[in-house]
Structure 1
């Protein structure tokens, strides 16, 4: 596999850029998430900046000697481009003169890969998309490091450690440090129960960038019933408080089901009161245990999310909506939630504890094994290509005016469109 060049820049404001070449130019990946597509000229400028020790002066002269752009023009073009990219990186694309496109293009490699280090868990959630707490074979520390090597060589700028509960593994900090040393952004998805003060300090010191903590309700009995562990709420709450007292970017996430629907608004108010500034919500994921559970329908989601938006905006917080939906039933653009569509094998992949590569954390169909197969082969596996090209959509969806943005919703729910 030919190594893909990927460059990283981090400024004093904490903005992380990863630059990766694509066939028709390149992509600038901001903080591991936002994707800004660059034409060939813009790519050359940003690449020169990163290659020349992030010096404006060296960038200008490099563009002159390497690409024949006269210094006066190179200076004007580069400083304008740089300012626009920094403005867009802070969240203001319109102010930067950068237009967001609804249609998604195909990328040559994932933007993020989720690493499920284990399926062991100290919770046993009734709606778990991974099937709840269970043991499987697990890659060793060295095998995971080799997997991280492969991901970086393939041009992947971000890994998220997940499970199960990856804090159960005592090599988590070692793996975070290793990924960070490559230049990757690192995240952790956790139930927060093991986020004690000393552990959080170790996670920080080894380079963890952000943590997402699952909390299902502000009511102890509702939370404990959903995660099926008595006493879990108290530990999760303490984990959130400890994380908020660190330098980590902290996000919470809550799965909206019939069991906690009536508590969502109060839960958001509770989290805002703790100081949480990034509130994540998602619908039920219809995989494994989630298949037979009842989530909220489109009207119920809309009603709750509109109230949550008012709360988060009032408190200068961000509402993050994760779930792809059928736009005819629930259009996130109309609800001011941004474009949402399935990212499986489109911008993300996941790797299970055994090393099996799958399209996303909840789509349990194999694309290969990271221990023996190349990531290029997994990315170009017929199933991955089918998911990217939406070959599974029927005539009704393909003829829909929203198809480019919607992408047909989540393929796991496609056969159950009555959900929406």
Structure 2
């Protein structure tokens, strides 16, 4: 299994040098919610420097040149852009799979869901950060948001759209994950995507979990993958790959992480390794996205896992994990440093051997 994982990781590494697997695009920072952990620091009005419709379509043209990665339109709230479905249709017509991550506001109507179906949206995502109205509404800073989210999940189920729930894992809601999973199963979602908080935007360091708490939750998540009818993935917790491997499960190889199989476009065209690693590598209005992705010195360093420092640099799982570069940057100021959110001590630092560890 170790050799199989190493081969898969190497194959993906070569693929990710040229093409991202996922392009996340913040179409706008406008949103009617005021979430306490919002990466974008969303505002109620659209920014004057958002990409125009024509500019956005030219960027979509560039994305199609990169082997048609999954394109995720997010925000803010992408429903704040009147040209949203025009852009979705334009991308879909070029063979791009489009997912939509929208906010639960009065704009999220049944007619909007029907438009999403007709325009060819592959998956529709909304956020649920608590199993109770008290917790979820606290995150959203809007009374009644939990109730509306439950209504939206029901509407999504009736629409026939593939549905995803996004949850940001923090100290505030770590005890409610079981309840959120139950809600997810009740509403027959397809994917539960858990984002482990990075202190950027409005997100505060005091909301982060410590390394052992992360480990405990990810071990629990692995158990959930064995009993839940929906898929589970993590963002900024790539050590979930290591945990899966330690349980004897074959992993798909190298994970998608900041700048490595993943790229983020902001509302004004600036490009970042991810939305949680706020270091711009350029702007699509001046440099084509494929060039930025393939030639950025920062991205090249992030994709070279031999440059990892600290325990991430000597970890036997670095090819399938690699640590969160966003968390390393947020906490230490160096995106190549060891991920402080991981509790695992590499074998080389213990002088032992362990089955299931992948080799380079």
TM-score > 0.5, shorter chain as reference: yes
Distance in 2, Cα, partners of 1:274 & 1:154: 34
- Secondary structure at 1:118's aligned position in 2? coil
Give the corresponding residue for 2:315: 400
Shift in Å, 1:209: 0.8
- Secondary structure at 2:57's aligned position in 1? helix
Distance in 2, Cα, partners of 1:300 & 1:139: 40
Q: Select 2:299's aligned residue among 384, 396, 407.
A: 384
1:283-318 per-residue CA deviation (whole Å, 9 max, x = no partner) reads: 112322224332223432343444455455434232
Is the 8 Å Cα contact of residues 195 and 243 (structure 1) preserved in structure 2?
no
Distance in 2, Cα, partners of 1:262 & 1:345: 31
Give yes or no for the alignment of 1:373 onto 2:282: no
Ranges in structure 2 where 5+ consecutive residues have no aligned partner: 333-338, 343-360
- Secondary structure at 2:164's aligned position in 1? strand
Q: Select 1:211's aligned residue among 110, 121, 124.
A: 124
Is the 8 Å Cα contact of residues 59 and 289 (structure 2) preserved in structure 1?
no
Give the corresponding residue for 1:124: 34
Is the 8 Å Cα contact of residues 29 and 75 (structure 2) preserved in structure 1?
yes
Give the corresponding residue for 2:196: 283
Shift in Å, 1:253: 1.5
Give yes or no for the alignment of 1:350 onto 2:264: yes
Distance in 1, Cα, partners of 2:129 & 2:282: 34
Deviates more, 1:297-306 or 1:354-363: 297-306
1:34-92 per-residue CA deviation (whole Å, 9 max, x = no partner) reads: xxxxxxxxxxxxxxxxxxxxxxxxxxxxxxxxxxxxxxxxxxxxxxxxxxxxxxxxxxx
Give yes or no for the alignment of 1:293 onto 2:293: no
Distance in 2, Cα, partners of 1:142 & 1:327: 40
Measured at CA, do residues 325 and 148 of structure 1 come closer, stay the same or move farther in structure 2, by a change above 3 Å?
closer
Shift in Å, 1:274: 2.3
- Secondary structure at 1:173's aligned position in 2? helix
Give the corresponding residue for 1:314: 227
Measured at CA, do residues 394 and 283 of structure 1 come closer, stay the same or move farther in structure 2, by a change above 3 Å?
same
Give yes or no for the alignment of 1:221 onto 2:131: no
Measured at CA, do residues 404 and 351 of structure 1 come closer, stay the same or move farther in structure 2, by a change above 3 Å?
same
Distance in 1, Cα, partners of 2:177 & 2:240: 23
Aligned pairs, how many?
A: 324
Is the 8 Å Cα contact of residues 31 and 103 (structure 2) preserved in structure 1?
no
Is the 8 Å Cα contact of residues 250 and 276 (structure 1) preserved in structure 2?
yes
Measured at CA, do residues 232 and 121 of structure 1 come closer, stay the same or move farther in structure 2, by a change above 3 Å?
same
Give yes or no for the alignment of 1:198 onto 2:111: yes
Q: Select 1:248's aligned residue among 158, 161, 165.
A: 161
Give yes or no for the alignment of 1:170 onto 2:77: no
- Secondary structure at 1:187's aligned position in 2? strand
Distance in 1, Cα, partners of 2:217 & 2:327: 23
Shift in Å, 1:219: 0.4
Distance in 1, Cα, partners of 2:314 & 2:215: 25
Deviation >6 Å, runs of 4+ = 97-100
Give the corresponding residue for 1:271: 184
Measured at CA, do residues 393 and 307 of structure 1 come closer, stay the same or move farther in structure 2, by a change above 3 Å?
closer
Measured at CA, do residues 203 and 337 of structure 1 come closer, stay the same or move farther in structure 2, by a change above 3 Å?
farther
Shift in Å, 1:201: 0.4
Q: Select 1:157's aligned residue among 59, 69, 79.
A: 69
Is the 8 Å Cα contact of residues 341 and 410 (structure 1) preserved in structure 2?
no
Deviates more, 1:285-294 or 1:408-417: 408-417
Shift in Å, 1:142: 1.4
Ranges in structure 1 where 5+ consecutive residues have no aligned partner: 1-93
Deviates more, 1:152-161 or 1:166-175: 152-161
Is the 8 Å Cα contact of residues 236 and 257 (structure 2) preserved in structure 1?
no
Measured at CA, do residues 309 and 412 of structure 1 come closer, stay the same or move farther in structure 2, by a change above 3 Å?
closer
- Secondary structure at 1:245's aligned position in 2? helix
1:352-395 per-residue CA deviation (whole Å, 9 max, x = no partner) reads: 11111222222222222212212233121211212212475225
